[in-house]
Structure 1
Amino acid sequence: MALYLVATLLIVMHIRNTVSGNNAPPRKTYIRAAFAFGTLACLLHIAAAWQLSQTGTAFNFGLHSMTTVVSAVVVGIFLLGSTALPIRRLGVLVFPLTIASLLFTLLWDDAPLIMRNTSTTFRLHLLVSICAYAMLALAAVQALLYSYQERQIKHRASPRMLMALPPLQTMEVLLFRLAGMGFVLLTLTLASGAIFSQQIFGNPFIFKHHTILAMLGWLVFATLLYRRVRHGMRGSQAVLWTVGGFLLIQLGYFGTKIVSESLSVQ
């Protein structure tokens, strides 16, 4: 958490340098140092997630474990994606949210929920579902940053302030690209989940709270991407759809899990 905090502060310093119009070499040094600290933090984060989730051949599905695993994957995908996409400044939101999730795991005391003898195909399904969540989380963060940038333009903020972020059109393209990749992974997650449900329960769809919320989230993102292709939906309209769809996915797993584990403790 300390390393993530340092990385956040370095990105803030990078943005402030950009806004001030300071073109000195340290401006690039800040962002490079931020991602060096962020990468080191992520490696330690992944090690902690592995230690919490793996117990021999079994897998720990407890909320404490899964929150650590999912947040590690979110940061990992963000760091890898930033090598190819201009999304480095998203770290100013991604890293603090990761700190918040890790603080939650420290405060949430739950008993391990062990599933033994999980197959390779099931672990692959689990990995795809976590990657889908991570990609949609990044899309939601991108949507919030896009909304902030658009508000700055409407209020005629300083041009130097806007220079701290990529052009609005680029931000819009990134938003839909992240949402599209997350939607594909979410579709694979629901499809593979239906196959496992058929094998285990004899029914491809067990209508529980998390299943219904996940399907509603899928419908939201499907509608979002359809309206983008068919009607040219703009980023300003996509913000609410993206954040709303992600919140449904969030509630589908973490919301229902918090409630169920709270009830089990009581």
Structure 2
Amino acid sequence: MMHTYFFILTAILYLGCALLPSRQRKTISTVVALAWLLHGAALWADVVGPDEVRVGFSMMLSATLWVSVAAYWLENRNYTLDGLRVLVLPTAALTVLLPGLFPGNMVSLVGKSPVFLWHIVISILAYSTLTIAAFHAVLMVLQESRLHTRPGSAHTTWFGAALDRLPALLTMEKILFRLIAFGFLLLTLTVASGVVFSEELFGTAFKWDHKTIFTMLSWALFGLLLIGRKWQGWRGRTALSFTLTGFAILLLAYVGSRFVLEVVLHRVLV
């Protein structure tokens, strides 16, 4: 299919931008924007059909890196994020190819409300944004740990060099909370649409299954973190702990179970 070639071309462009020297800032910005548009178009063509929609862990990962590249591109206009560029773009190049290896399964849209498709799209964007926030939090933990490592005490690896090129921790924290706020908004829309339109979306009344419980718990943790940030000034280790815990619970709600079902158990479920 044509979108398969778009995925391959996107991966090549992402890798090329990761390898370009940082002084070619304008070229990198332009090519990344082009690759991101190709990635989004190919992902939409692969996921959304006339009467069906594809779901699966590989599609989720690809969508996650699509959002991640967008976040990098936007924030790079305000800060110098070469450290993130050499980490995000190669990862995006890899994940953009995963749907070809693990295609997931198709869910029929016949007889479904238009709300169903938008519920899926918003939930994917919510999970993706909060996944990026968790990845960002891990980088901050590693960055802080590296600051306490004495210069010359260990050999500098490629990854260590990338960490050294990240913005200051305060800047990284500002980016983190912007990601969390946006992800929380999307997750709120996901939860609200799932509760209010449950019967219309899924054909059954709202029920408390494992996915719902984990999603609601994650939503509560991220909400509490944003409230604590605004009223108590939470930051640093507290913010990182809440972010990683909230993400781990969200992972249990969807991506983790999908991976086990599709790859380990070779089962296809909606």
**TM-score of the superposition, structure 2-length normalised?**
0.76
5+ residue gaps in structure 2? 1-10, 153-160
> Which residue of 2 is the match for residue 125 of structure 1?
119
- State the distance in 1 between where 2:214 and 2:243 align: 15
- State the distance in 2 between where 1:69 and 1:135 align: 9
Equivalent residue letter for 1:197: S
- Kindly tell me the number of residue pairs found equivalent between the two proteins: 247
> Which residue of 1 is the match for residue 106 of structure 2?
112
8 Å contact kept, 2:218–2:246: yes
> Which residue of 2 is the match for residue 191 of structure 1?
192
**Alpha-carbon distance change, 221 to 101 in structure 1, aligned in 2, over 3 angstroms:** same
Root mean square deviation, CA, Å: 3.1
- Residue 190 of structure 1 and its aligned partner are, at CA, apart by 0.5
8 Å contact kept, 2:131–2:247: yes
> Which residue of 2 is the match for residue 22 of structure 1?
none
- State the distance in 2 between where 1:189 and 1:156 align: 45
8 Å contact kept, 1:62–1:113: no
**Alpha-carbon distance change, 111 to 175 in structure 1, aligned in 2, over 3 angstroms:** closer
- State the distance in 2 between where 1:201 and 1:48 align: 30
Per the alignment, in what secondary structure is the counterpart of residue 55 of structure 1?
coil
> Which residue of 1 is the match for residue 19 of structure 2?
9
Structure 2 matches for 1:1-266, cutoff 5 A? 1-10=11-20, 13-14=21-22, 27=23, 29=24, 31-83=25-77, 89-157=83-151, 164-199=165-200, 200-201=202-203, 203-204=205-206, 206-261=207-262, 262-264=265-267
Per the alignment, in what secondary structure is the counterpart of residue 113 of structure 1?
strand
5+ residue gaps in structure 1? 15-26
Residues 185-238 of structure 1: CA deviation (Å, up to 9, x unaligned): 21121011111214455533x222322221221122123223323432222332
**Alpha-carbon distance change, 73 to 232 in structure 1, aligned in 2, over 3 angstroms:** closer
Per the alignment, in what secondary structure is the counterpart of residue 167 of structure 2?
coil
Residues 228-250 of structure 1: CA deviation (Å, up to 9, x unaligned): 23432222332232123223223
> Which residue of 2 is the match for residue 23 of structure 1?
none
**TM-score of the superposition, structure 1-length normalised?**
0.76
8 Å contact kept, 2:64–2:131: no
**Alpha-carbon distance change, 132 to 87 in structure 1, aligned in 2, over 3 angstroms:** farther
8 Å contact kept, 1:59–1:118: no
- State the distance in 1 between where 2:167 and 2:64 align: 27
8 Å contact kept, 1:7–1:37: yes
Per the alignment, in what secondary structure is the counterpart of residue 85 of structure 2?
helix
